[in-house]
Structure 1
């Protein structure tokens, strides 16, 4: 490839990344160059083409009519180049390159992070970045290759592969139950201190739904504490502050340690007339099924296999209270 062609390719890549990321600065970050170098790449490309592709001010940018046409043609070409590189790596049995992964804080901390050393040991040439946030993530603007989400926050335009389900448990500390008694029906929760979760994504306080005789209902709760961090709620429950609602990947280790007791469970599993009907279903999401880079493909397959029969995603067997 000639020096001129290489320069054009750098300019095209800068242009496409600037459009996808919303700014030249975003393109520069993704390409690992300075904003000034990215601006020069784009300027040389526009000079070569003899037309302006982007209108730029200090605060915004927008595609020109020529830019819209050019972007529609060259963006698939860059995707094709990335895919070709990924396919060559696969043929050489070498998964390598960047992988930026996004996940909710609690699921990332308790489930995903302990699995990462095994993934990196299998694929040592992958450069991993983990983004742990309890909010909606933009794959394009934040340069995220794959995200792990539960069903409520799936987005149109992303490919989603189901990787696991976490049952939901209501729990309290033995000390709290000794002092305040054990609730035996959902209606009993109105007389207990309930520790509830406010979703950072939309600010809603999460309800505690139950299923009885095929009907879903949410009982009245006496809310003692609201918090937007599920680990803090678990810590409050361990400290005998009240009853809380936890995913098994947080509750199970605390139950096994004797720090919490699950409620509404019988010896053979959840009591069907009191079972929470909506466990959290988790999916790994990515942008393009056809042009999947090697590191993304490897991670998707790895995490789906690792979460099969994962002990933190199983409801505990608990003796029925006397």
Structure 2
């Protein structure tokens, strides 16, 4: 009898909340997962789950058993990593990333990572929603600062500037904003977080202080690449990460705003995008996760290395 397999099925059922969800996570049929639970209950001689056609709940024995065994899969993985510490990092690695960063930065780097670590098998999840590392089997996620939430272990790996920009046609028609206050008179292309409906704030740094610009949303979207296309086609002023904006600026399809080297005489500096690698707990920093984080940090060459590299537990994260 594969006791470890039965235990793993039970843990997934408890953590996902249903046999059907656990089956999807495990790549098994619901009938096979249900049979695993029945076999485990028979082996233990106790009822772990109270099941009806409408709901499922842990019994008292099931709760106690889950608390004792829920760490077993993680402990086995850590033991395997320790046993192979002298060899190359290996095994499956599930990475969740924000959609834009994944598309424009992470995906182009993956062939080089695979060449460097051929025994690591990467699965990428591209999403701007809030992810649950434990329930979704995610080893590490790449988030911007505004998307961090309590309890994550976060390591800052890079800082990238935001660029305020608009098309030449739009600026000729609507004029060039020369102050932060001028943005209220322009069509602003605003990104809305899919997770909670907040707008991504348009923050500037002026004399060392953060100032949030008041904007007039001309278009609102939860996909930053769509906003970039709206800006390119004359829809208004956009606030884009540099890795999205720069190709359009280089081709002349967008013009940067604000700062001493731009069309505008304003000297306000856009607050940068801070990028973090996150894990659910420190014990998740096994060899393959460390290899991925260190590779990514080196590849994107954080311009402020003295501030990166330290792990911090996220708590009381503000907007």
TM range (shorter): 0.7 to 0.9
Which of 239, 244, 250 lines up with 1:245 in the alignment?
A: 239
Tell me if the contact between 1:102 and 1:148 (Cα under 8 Å) persists in the aligned partners.
yes
Describe the SS at the equivalent of 1:195: strand
Tell me if the contact between 2:25 and 2:136 (Cα under 8 Å) persists in the aligned partners.
no
Q: Answer yes or no: is 1:260 the counterpart of 2:241.
A: no
Q: Answer yes or no: is 1:132 the counterpart of 2:97.
A: no
Which has the greater radius of gyration? 1
The residue aligned with 1:320 is: none
TM-score between both structures, scaled by the size of structure 1 = 0.85
Which of 111, 117, 122 lines up with 2:111 in the alignment?
A: 117
The residue aligned with 1:150 is: 144
Q: Which runs of 5+ in 1 are unaligned?
A: 311-322
Q: How does 1:164-243 map to 2 (within 5 A)?
A: 164-213=158-207, 216-243=210-237
CA shift in 2, pair 1:215/1:88, >3 Å: closer
Q: Answer yes or no: is 1:32 the counterpart of 2:48.
A: no
Describe the SS at the equivalent of 2:282: coil
Q: Quick one: distance in 2 between partners of 1:274 and 1:17?
A: 50
Q: How does 1:87-102 map to 2 (within 5 A)?
A: 87-93=82-88, 95-102=89-96
The residue aligned with 1:160 is: 154
CA shift in 2, pair 1:122/1:47, >3 Å: same
Shift of 1:213: 4.6
The residue aligned with 2:78 is: 83
The residue aligned with 2:281 is: 288
CA shift in 2, pair 1:131/1:187, >3 Å: same
TM-score between both structures, scaled by the size of structure 2 = 0.85
Describe the SS at the equivalent of 2:123: strand
Q: Quick one: distance in 2 between partners of 1:36 and 1:290?
A: 33
Q: Quick one: distance in 2 between partners of 1:8 and 1:221?
A: 59
Pick which of 49-58 and 108-117 moved more.
49-58
CA shift in 2, pair 1:207/1:121, >3 Å: same
Shift of 1:46: 0.9
Shift of 1:188: 2.1
CA shift in 2, pair 1:237/1:246, >3 Å: same
Shift of 1:272: 8.5
The residue aligned with 1:308 is: 301
Shift of 1:263: 0.6
Q: Answer yes or no: is 1:23 the counterpart of 2:18.
A: yes
Tell me if the contact between 1:83 and 1:292 (Cα under 8 Å) persists in the aligned partners.
no
Q: Answer yes or no: is 1:63 the counterpart of 2:58.
A: yes
Tell me if the contact between 2:205 and 2:211 (Cα under 8 Å) persists in the aligned partners.
yes
Q: Quick one: distance in 2 between partners of 1:113 and 1:214?
A: 34
Q: Quick one: distance in 1 between partners of 2:265 and 2:159?
A: 19
TM-align CA RMSD: 2.5
Shift of 1:309: 4.0
Shift of 1:59: 4.3
Describe the SS at the equivalent of 1:266: coil
Tell me if the contact between 2:153 and 2:279 (Cα under 8 Å) persists in the aligned partners.
yes
Q: Quick one: distance in 1 between partners of 2:187 and 2:279?
A: 40
Q: Answer yes or no: is 1:274 the counterpart of 2:268.
A: yes
CA deviation vs aligned residue, 1:109-130 (integer Å, no higher than 9, x gap) = 1111111111112222322221
CA deviation vs aligned residue, 1:278-300 (integer Å, no higher than 9, x gap) = 32211111123124344323212
- How many pairs are equivalent? 303
Q: Answer yes or no: is 1:45 the counterpart of 2:23.
A: no
